[in-house]
């Protein structure tokens, strides 16, 4: 399983637009093949910071997601609305069995 985390800090005047775009992106992404989960959350310590948490079946599903025109458009649209550059971290993860 591939786990993706990332964040985007909106400008105060662009918060509503970033929220709208982020929710549209998350809802659309959930319908893609290989998407296990895709969520956007607001950081309780920085209310302008959106946090993305995603799970993908495998690397190919994530690479396919990055090639979807709407995914590229989302990233492009965010750039002008953010207070600082967004971040992304990608992990190859395996579930652990807990006793």
The confidence score (pLDDT) of residue 57 equals 98
Consecutive H or E run containing 41: strand 35-42
Q: Report the C-alpha gap between 82 and 15 in whole angstroms.
A: 9
The confidence score (pLDDT) of residue 92 equals 97
pLDDT in tens, the chain (99 residues): 999 999 999 999 999 999 999 999 999 999 999 999 999 999 999 999 999 999 999 999 999 999 999 999 999 999 999 999 999 999 999 989 988
Rg value, the chain, Cα: 14
The confidence score (pLDDT) of residue 63 equals 98
> For 45, phi and psi rounded to 5 degrees?
-95, -15
Q: Which residues contact 87 (CB under 8 A, 6 or more apart)?
A: 6, 7
Q: Report the C-alpha gap between 5 and 10 in whole angstroms.
A: 17
Reported pTM: 0.92
Which CATH architecture does the domain made up of 2-92 adopt? 2-Layer Sandwich (3.30)
């Amino acid at each position: 399983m591939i786990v993706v985390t990332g964040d985007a800090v909106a400008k105060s005047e662009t918060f509503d637009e970033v929220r709208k775009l982020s929710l549209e992106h998350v809802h659309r992404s959930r319908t893609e093949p290989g998407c296990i989960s895709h969520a956007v959350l607001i950081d309780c310590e920085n209310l302008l910071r959106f946090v993305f948490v995603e799970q993908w079946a495998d690397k190919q599903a994530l690479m396919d997601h990055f090639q979807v025109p709407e995914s590229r458009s989302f990233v492009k649209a965010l750039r002008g609305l953010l207070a600082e550059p967004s971040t992304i971290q990608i992990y190859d993860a395996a579930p652990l069995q807990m006793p």
